[in-house]
Structure 1
Amino acid sequence: MKENTKIEETQLFAPVRDFFTGLGYEVHGEVGTCDLTATKEDELIIVELKRNLNLDLLLQGAKRQRLTSQVYIAILKPKYSIYSKKWKDRCYLVRRLELGLITVALLPGQPRVEVVFHPGPFDQARSKRGSRRKKSRLQQEIAGRHGNYNTGGSVGQKIMTAYKENALHIACCLQKYGPLSPKALQQLGTGPKTASILQKNFYGWFHRVARGSYQLTSEGRDQLSKYPELVAYYASLIQAKFDQGAEAEKKAETLEDALPDGRKP
């Protein structure tokens, strides 16, 4: 018969108790609504115990902050890597709540208690400073989109990005005018990333027909039919660029006719 090896929350109590006792605290279990209290002179520490880090534990910890700023949550040491994004994200949330975090490894004969970090004020300004680059990229992505073609919350679905929109703009230009150089495309308004998009050819929409000249592939033409709204939008931009060029050329011709012979505007 297979032995039941399920770990109970009560098994975390003794290692955590011994840890704080070793630091000179007087420790008590189940005081009021608190799993564990540790006191030394006027200092009060509260520890909430759970096998895993979950919402209930975070709520308990947040409520205990009404009683003291020194609140820890103690959990079993996770089986997944402490260097993983999953663990780092969880640590960020606990820090954000200004709670301390303790892990307990129930090793045979000698449990190991580790304070991952102590409770303390969360420096939100510093956190934002560290995310300036991410914020800038997010704002660039928003600015680079010209419609709302994605459903929020989608997982595993293809999404429309600013990069893909840029590639569609280039594809629309090549469809209208045939093979063009990156410089000519930029003059049509495709932006500074044009050469990079053509060279990397991430979607397989472009083919280099000569040095510095690209045309649209059959795959690219097929993709244009899947985004009629964006194609119509970029077609209007391309036409506007053409009209601006034609108007500028007309003004230049008019000015040239008005000048004395041999002079250029």
Structure 2
Amino acid sequence: MPIQTETELYAPIKQYFEQQGYTVRAEIKHCDLVAIRGDEPPLIVELKKSFNIPLLVQGIERLRLTDQVYVAFELPNKGRAPHRLQWEDVRRLCRMLGLGVLTVQFYKRKKPAVDLVCEPTPYMLRSNKRAALRVVNEFHERSGDYNVGGSSKMKLMTAYREKSLHCAYLMREHGPLSPRQLRDFTSNKAVSSLLQKNYYRWFIRQSRGIYHLTPSGEQALSEYAHVLTAFAIQQPAIQPFRSER
């Protein structure tokens, strides 16, 4: 059963730090919990019933007073990370903010258990140039903005889907085509792989080196008709097919 107030967190967390040799006091200059051990800098803990933005904001504010700042909250149901995150997401976020994280699990017949999720150690996120380049390439390879930001559980118009649609559109307009023709008309050097993998099952090989549309491909052209305008503008002059043997 969830705790009723954040004050229920105080006693187990106080005991947790006292067992490590700290002297603990509550509500010092608006700080929920302050712990000091010998001549060490103060340690501050901010308490909330659950993990949320106000808790993080409070923690960041306390970093003006000391580097040793923790945020603490009740362990969510079944030990899952809050807000459908992974615990590694919570750790990474709080480390980037310079905050430590503590959780408290309450039991009916046992004493509460305090768990250290992460220490307040500064964390630098490494840049991933390869991933950044993939974002830039995906941006430039799309012909337009066909998605709505924040969408979920919906088919997205990716650059790969656009390239597949472009091939399907050319086949609908001009009949069966070869990979060489499609490569020339779309400037897509990977068109042969696209046809062979046939991820969406839109294409069928009619004979050696010749591909045409499946019923699924025809349906896709109707479903994504709003995307085809860009392809119509680039309409190529199709040369009669000659065997590539």
State how far apart, in whole Å, the 2-side matches of 1:202 and 1:19 are: 55
Aligned to 1:121: 122
Aligned partner letter, 1:179: P
Q: Any residues of structure 2 matched to 1:152-231 within 5 Å, and which?
A: 152-228=149-225, 230-231=227-228
Alignment RMSD (CA, Å): 2.4
Correspondence for 2:6: 9
Q: 1:235 aligns with which of 210, 228, 232?
A: 232
Give 2:56's aligned residue.
58
TM norm structure 1: 0.78
CA contact (8 A) 1:166 1:190 kept: no
In 2 relative to 1, CA 18–197 (structure 1 residues): closer, same or farther, beyond 3 Å? same
Runs of 5+ in structure 2 lacking a partner? 240-245
Bigger proportion of residues as helix: 1
Structure 2 residue identity aligned to 1:29: A
Task: From the superposition, tell whether residues 75 and 148 of structure 1 become closer, same or farther in structure 2 (CA, over 3 Å).
Answer: same
Structure 1 equivalent of residue 36 of structure 2? 39
User: In the alignment, which residue of structure 2 is the partner of 1:254?
Assistant: none
Q: Which residue of 1 aligns with 2:243?
A: none
- Deviation per residue, 1:94-114 (Å, 9 max, x gap): 222110111222243333222
State the alpha-carbon separation in 2 of the partners of residues 85 and 58 from structure 1: 16
Return the offset for 1:18: 1.1
Q: Does 2:20 correspond to 1:23?
A: yes
Matched residue, 1:249: none
Q: CA deviation at 1:212?
A: 3.2
Given that 1:103 and 1:116 are in contact with CA atoms closer than 8 Å, whether structure 2 keeps it comes out as yes
Distance 2:43 2:170 in 1: 67
Counterparts of 1:184 and 1:198 in 2: how far apart (Å)? 12
Contact 1:181–1:213 (8 Å) recurs in 2: yes
- Give the letter for the 1:76 counterpart: E
How many residues get paired? 233
Q: Deviations over 1:132-154 (max 9, x none)?
A: 34322222211210111122222
> Shift in Å at residue 218 of structure 1?
3.4
C-alpha displacement at 1:202, in angstroms?
A: 3.0
Deviation at 1:24, TM superposition (A): 1.2
| C-alpha distance in structure 2 between counterparts of 1:229 and 1:112, whole Å | 57
Shift of 1:229: 5.3
Shift of 1:172: 2.0
Matching residue of 2:94:
94
Alignment CA distance shift 1:153-1:59 (3 Å): same
Stretches of structure 1 that go unaligned for 5 or more consecutive residues are: 246-265
Which digits, 9 at most, give the CA deviation of each residue in 1:37-67, with x for residues without a partner? 0012141100011221011111111111121
2:145 counterpart (145, 148, 158): 148
Residue deviations 1:224-251 (CA, integer Å, cap 9, x gap): 3444554232233342xx49x9xxxxxx
Provide the C-alpha distance between the structure 1 equivalents of 2:202 and 2:101, rounded to a whole number of angstroms: 51
Change (3 A) 1:48 1:117: same
- 1:57-108 Cα offsets, whole Å, 9 max, x none, are 11111111121111000112233445x7443323322222110111222243
Q: Secondary structure at the match of 1:147?
A: coil
- Report the residue type matching 1:43 in the other structure: P
Shift of 1:6: 4.0
TM-score for the superposition, normalised by structure 2: 0.84
The match for 1:109 is 110
Q: Residue 121 of structure 2 aligns to which amino acid in structure 1?
A: G
Q: Distance in 2 between matches of 1:54 and 1:229?
A: 41
Query: Larger relative contact order (C-alpha < 8 A, sep ≥ 6)?
Result: 2
Query: What is the CA–CA distance in structure 1 between the aligned matches of 2:195 and 2:137, rounded to whole Å?
Result: 20
Asked which structure has the greater CA Rg, the reply is: 1
CA–CA separation in structure 2 for the residues paired with 1:190 and 1:170: 11
Cα offsets for 1:7-33 (capped at 9, x unmatched): 132221111111111111111012121
User: Which shifted more, 224-233 or 56-65?
Assistant: 224-233
